[in-house]
Amino acid sequence: MVRLESVRRKSGGRIHLTPRIPKTGPVTTLCGQVLGDGAYTGTESVADCANCIRRSRDQSRISSAFFEQEEGSELLRLSLEQARGRERPARQGSAAAAKPAERRPVLRVVPSTPEVPSELGELVTDGFKGAGPGVWRSPGGVLVRMGGPNRDRFAELVYEGQVVATRESGGLRIKAGDVEVTPSRDGMRVRIRR
Ligand SMILES: [Zn+2]
């Protein structure tokens, strides 16, 4: 079992859960937020983020969050190594070769956009590009604004094109260009249509 740690933004807001608070670098919460280096602090308080609490009961979620966190620090280490290598190119080879196989096997697969989690609260970020604080743009030009203290709740959609709104049992389904907003059990879900 992984022991979860409580973490919160220094600016306040909800107390989230994460498998491990790193000494340096960003931390990824169970609810999929990335809190930047220096912007968060560990706390002994009990978490009050509903998404984090729900996901803390799901072992596979915890595993993947733990993996993301580890991968993030590994990426940071690699980029630091590369930066040092550029400064001192003569030492790059020998330093790498002399390094013993320490700790545990290291995964070398580097995702193309490691800084963006696949889910940010109600938003499935896959395919979206960040267009400002809490604002995301789809390839088709749909703008989605996320609100709430953590900018992870769907707030607004803007699109100058065809929009279809359909009433469903759980609420309203909105198809706007290449984006679909659907009611879910505990809120909304925003994603690129496939
Ligand atoms: Zn959370």
90 and 124 both lie in a single domain: no
- pLDDT (mean) for 166-178: 91
Q: Measured between alpha carbons, how far is 154 from 144 in angstroms, rounded to an integer?
A: 8
Tell me the pLDDT band of 91, cut-offs 50, 70 and 90.
Answer: very low
Share of the chain above pLDDT 90, in %: 36
Is residue 69 domain-shared with residue 27, that is, in the same domain? yes
Residues 12 and 77 in one domain: yes
pTM, two decimal places: 0.42
Question: At residue 160, what is the residue type?
Answer: E
Q: For 185, which DSSP code?
A: T
Rounded-to-integer distance, Cα 181 and Cα 86, Å: 46
Let me know if residue 104 belongs to a domain: no
pLDDT at 107 over 70: no
- Do 149 and 88 belong together in one domain? no
- Statement: residue 31 has pLDDT above 50: yes
CA–centroid distance, 141 to ligand 1, in Å, is 29
Instruction: Tell me the average pLDDT of the chain.
Output: 80
Q: Output the CA 55–ligand 1 centroid distance in Å.
A: 9
Same domain for 70 and 149: no
Cβ atoms of 172 and 166 closer than 8 Å: yes
Q: What is the pLDDT of residue 183?
A: 92
Tokens standing for residue 134 = 């809490």
Kindly give the distance from the C-alpha atom of residue 148 to the centroid of ligand 1, in angstroms, as a whole number. Answer: 12
Whole-number Å distance between alpha carbons of 106 and 75: 11
What spacing in Å lies between the alpha carbon of 40 and ligand 1's midpoint? 13
In a domain, 183, yes or no: yes
Q: Is the pLDDT of residue 187 over 50?
A: yes
Distance 174 CA to ligand 1 centre (A): 26
188 in any annotated domain? yes
Q: Flag whether pLDDT at 43 surpasses 60.
A: yes
pLDDT of residue 173: 93
How many angstroms is it from 66 CA to the middle of ligand 1?
Answer: 14
The boundaries of the domain holding residue 168 are 119-192
Neighbours of ion ligand 1 (CB under 5 A): 16, 29, 31, 49, 52
Alpha-carbon gap, residue 99 to 137, rounded angstroms: 43
Q: How far apart are CA 101 and CA 97, in angstroms?
A: 10
What percent of the chain shows pLDDT beyond 70? 72
Whose tokens are 């940010």? That residue is 120
110 lies in a domain? Answer: no
The domain tally of the chain equals 2
User: How far lies 172's CA from each of 19, 103, 111, 140, 191, in Å?
Assistant: 35, 51, 34, 21, 15
Q: Does residue 45 share a domain with residue 14?
A: yes
Residue 170 domain-assigned (yes or no): yes
Give the pLDDT confidence of 110-169 residue by residue, as tens digits: 555 445 568 889 999 999 988 888 889 999 989 898 988 888 999 998 888 889 999 988
- Shared domain check, 127 and 83: no
Of the listed ranges 2-11, 64-73, 78-87, the one predicted with least confidence: 78-87
**pLDDT band at 103; cut points 50, 70, 90:** low
Residue 35 lies in a domain: yes
DSSP letter string, 134-176? TEEE-TT--EEEEETTTT-EEEEEE-SS-EEEEEETTEEEEEE
